[in-house]
Amino acid sequence: MSVSASDNPWNRDIPFSYDGMWLGTKLCQERINRRISGDNIHWLEYSWRQYVGPAVARSSHPHHLRCLILGSNEGWMEMMLCEHGFTGAIVASDIADKAVSRARAKVEAAGYRNVTHVVADLNVDSFEGKFDFIICEGVLHHIANIERCLRMLRSCMKPDALLFAVEFEGPFRFQLSELQVRWINATLFLMPRSLRPLARNDQGNYPATEAENLQVAYSPPPADQIARFDPTEAYSGAELKQLLPRIFEIIQRTGFGGTLLSYMAAHFDFKRANEDVFSQAWLKVLCEIEDTLISTHILEDEFVFYILRSAAHAKVAG
């Protein structure tokens, strides 16, 4: 499946905002950082310190190193690499031409001349030359022709090149199991009603009533509704999970949840969690429940950070 830029909900005249979502809260961001890096360090900063930066320092010709970015979006990844001293060629790609234009303007305004921005559809497009690093965030699970895409990426990696990926590995178009839906609702039912999408009254510190819980219970949107919003959304997460270890050598695979929290944007006041300690305290409860469900193997992480190597002996899907 290929999708045009006009069908892409992220291809808008203004940047997409995570405000009001779990990924937009400081507490969740710090939790993700610690899960991936062991410290409050962003995953790209961690990748730079552990792998990219040392490679640049070791190289006698660092300007010969090449990096491919998938899902460049607003250009923050290429900007961060350049700010850290990456002087090699960077090819930054995205299917959203409006976002690519903004990213290009931002990089040019900063004076970096080693970045080339391209509009690319990973279902069908390929890239010229070999790369030392490939970096992608939240793009691979949108690719219908995912095996072809992964094979293509592997073919354009130099020996021992590294691929850094932050990806969703949940079910097709968010069609969750009954087990997961019941845990989402059971967790939400514990929250004070003042943090739920309910009319305000003088019982904000009470849990919602049974009738109120039924009124605002989470239910997965039908697959066709997801497809109307974005034909590529959550298309190949489950397939991606199976293919990555068959096509690449896994250096690091670290899950960071999202199994409950990513579905609660319309059901819990995440925005408030950046503003007051009351909401933050209850968000910590949500995080603890999600972590416990994952650590006890009742549910699995849906968002995962990967470091993958283009190893000669890695099994290729057949």
Q: 62-79, pLDDT tens digit by residue? A: 999 999 999 999 999 999
Joined together, the tokens standing for residue 72 give 């460049």
Q: How confident is the model at residue 316 (pLDDT cuts 50, 70, 90)?
A: very low
The predicted model scores a pTM of: 0.92
Joined together, the tokens standing for residue 259 give 């199994």
How is the beta sheet containing 66-70 ordered, strand by strand? Answer: 115-119, 89-94, 66-70, 131-137, 157-168, 303-309, 249-255
> Is residue 2's pLDDT more than 60?
no
pLDDT for 317 equals: 37
Mean pLDDT, rounded, for 208-236: 94
| Contact criterion met (CB below 8 Å) for 28 and 268 | no
pLDDT for 313 equals: 47
Q: How confident is the model at residue 274 (pLDDT cuts 50, 70, 90)?
A: very high
Query: Mean pLDDT over all residues of the chain?
Result: 93
4-8, 194-198, 256-260: range with lowest mean pLDDT: 4-8
What is the spatial distance between Cα 87 and Cα 66, in angstroms, rounded to a whole number? 9
